[in-house]
Structure 1
């Protein structure tokens, strides 16, 4: 998925160089980016909307879900009667290098589906989602019900994949229970790894996977193509991974392109992942009952509930999907987790840490069919 790669904090040396100082400033994108980010992530009204306006608002909440490289690989169709919304994959936005079987695409659809159903409930509609294997689409039927503004709905505009260091402190048993409940279903199993030995074992697979991916020129090019090195580029495209969301400075794109080649190294990235895993409270591994598109959607829904519950508790999370993205690593990683013969779907670290700038979203008009 829902892959979230950091550019690298090592670019900080560029800020101090005359070349960088002559090419960027704090105003290079701050005003435009901040204004668009505020509109994108705002909480909307929960009363006074109906018909197409309500449908568009539900779609807006759905688009605040995560997606691989923030490609926003979805399209939405509003039923003229207001009784359903269909979510289809937008395969023009797939990432074939990191996601050759479109696993992350359908997990992303599940994340959007969960946001939509949470928003629908807050607006007095009960959403029932069903995956149609003939069209590879999720149809959410909407029926009137008593409105409920749940903590998960309130968390939607606050949720982010926080790709920074956490504080290293453990979570309480009550918090872990709430996360376990939110992220599990009868079709999806959630493993919460909080023992340091288990986390170090997972880190070893993350490092192996990251090293393999960084040796793949197609993977590196695909990742770089989705990085937005400054706020102006983030606002222009409204997609991709905004570099500042990983704690990096705003720099002109041409400098970013050069810096990426210089500082995006296996050692630098592996050291970063080691530091970040060791600063986390734990690692969550999501496992669908079956390795097919329908269950990948279910995994996405469970992950999004987990992420929203975490957000409601002030807990951050970020993906560590290398062990499940590198096909050769999946079987031994599964075996190490006691999941021989199964396919782990998502690997996510969690803990408390600061908020970072957000990657943006395209307007509703861009995703409606």
Structure 2
């Protein structure tokens, strides 16, 4: 559940390109076309099963790899891991992969019930199974938030969240086997920030991490639409670049100091940080954490809030105990997410539904 930005000035990029506007647009595609593409992915939920799966795939997931496959089995829908979409450097034990399955399962249950398929999700040996019955639609208010939720990697406005809304976030995210700690005081938020910066430095100084990250960045609308996955640069507020130039700019201009300043501003502008803990470090509990986290993000979206993952102290093993200690925990932290009031950025891409159904 990780996001990074590519900080490249538009003016520098244009000079480096040495080409005209028409050629540039041909290489990058247009944002107008991309917005139509993204809107189609998030169009109104319809009763067919493919639409239910489409809503499931709008869930949060690591590097936007979408590491899942869906299978229909009578009156059941199974969600299974797609190990071809692993990120072994940032996620060597597939923690984020299984959390991603849990996020998709939360969306699936909401969308299925809203289309007249209420049921129950259960954990299987390799994922999640949702068994349903045919009944009248049961529409949870969170359903409308599925198409609007995004990881908004931008500065927020620093406003505090009303206590009643914080209580609603906690209540909506409550799940067996999962604990949630909300950090809203500035002293502890700065401690979280310092760990994020330390983790970001460790990761950016790791050539293997940087190679893996670059593989998943989509530097322009054309690439994002063609691949339907990955970290779309515009979703972080960055300009579109031709893919070749984007990779060069990434290697030359993406540096620790600049990125850490960016993270510091983003965390300082947030209203709080949510840290999720599973009872045990196993696949079942990672899926449960994903379900809880997705419901938290949907509740935040319904309340007009934005969220973004800051998982560096989760991903860098040496920092996990320090992150847990901030909230008096000793268990391994599973996810860290900042939240607050902020802008809406371009949505991330998704693959066609038919490509994820077995």
Would the TM-score normalized by the shorter structure come out above 0.5? yes
- The question of 1:209 aligning with 2:199 is answered yes
Matches for 1:86-165 after TM superposition, within 5 Å? 86-133=78-125, 136-165=126-155
1:271 aligns to what? Answer: 261
Q: TM-score, normalised by structure 1?
A: 0.93
2:57 aligns to what? Answer: 63
- The question of 1:322 aligning with 2:312 is answered yes
Matches for 1:187-198 after TM superposition, within 5 Å? 187-198=177-188
Q: TM-score, normalised by structure 2?
A: 0.96
- Decide whether the 8 Å contact of 2:78 with 2:128 is kept in 1: yes
2:159 aligns to what? Answer: 169
- The question of 1:348 aligning with 2:337 is answered yes
Q: Distance in 2 between matches of 1:40 and 1:344?
A: 32
Which deviates the most, 154-163 or 120-129? 120-129
- Decide whether the 8 Å contact of 1:113 with 1:129 is kept in 2: yes
1:72 aligns to what? Answer: 66
Secondary structure at 1:60 match in 2: helix
- The question of 1:301 aligning with 2:291 is answered yes
Secondary structure at 1:174 match in 2: helix
- Decide whether the 8 Å contact of 1:11 with 1:259 is kept in 2: no
Q: Distance in 2 between matches of 1:28 and 1:154?
A: 30
| Pair 13,127 (structure 1): closer, same or farther in 2 beyond 3 Å | farther
1:3 aligns to what? Answer: 2
Q: Distance in 2 between matches of 1:248 and 1:239?
A: 17
Q: Distance in 1 between matches of 2:16 and 2:109?
A: 50
Q: Distance in 1 between matches of 2:317 and 2:147?
A: 34
Secondary structure at 1:220 match in 2: helix
Provide Cα deviations, 1:136-170, integer angstroms capped at 9, x if missing partner.
Answer: 12111012344222221011011111111111111
Q: Distance in 2 between matches of 1:228 and 1:362?
A: 13
Q: Distance in 2 between matches of 1:11 and 1:98?
A: 27
List runs of 5+ in structure 1 lacking aligned partners: none
- 1:113 deviates by 0.2
- Decide whether the 8 Å contact of 1:205 with 1:333 is kept in 2: yes
Match of 1:19 among 17, 20, 26: 17
1:361 aligns to what? Answer: 350
Q: Distance in 1 between matches of 2:241 and 2:207?
A: 24
Aligned residues, how many? 355
- 1:29 deviates by 2.5
- The question of 1:292 aligning with 2:293 is answered no
Q: Distance in 2 between matches of 1:127 and 1:11?
A: 49
Secondary structure at 1:24 match in 2: helix
2:44 aligns to what? Answer: 43
List runs of 5+ in structure 2 lacking aligned partners: none
| Pair 21,276 (structure 1): closer, same or farther in 2 beyond 3 Å | farther
Secondary structure at 1:250 match in 2: coil
- Decide whether the 8 Å contact of 2:118 with 2:138 is kept in 1: no
| Pair 89,128 (structure 1): closer, same or farther in 2 beyond 3 Å | same
Secondary structure at 2:338 match in 1: strand
Which deviates the most, 147-156 or 12-21? 12-21
Secondary structure at 1:144 match in 2: coil
Q: Distance in 2 between matches of 1:184 and 1:275?
A: 30
Q: Distance in 1 between matches of 2:93 and 2:255?
A: 26
- The question of 1:29 aligning with 2:19 is answered no
- Decide whether the 8 Å contact of 1:14 with 1:20 is kept in 2: no
- Decide whether the 8 Å contact of 1:94 with 1:102 is kept in 2: yes
| Pair 248,196 (structure 1): closer, same or farther in 2 beyond 3 Å | same
> How much is the aligned-residue C-alpha RMSD, in angstroms?
1.5
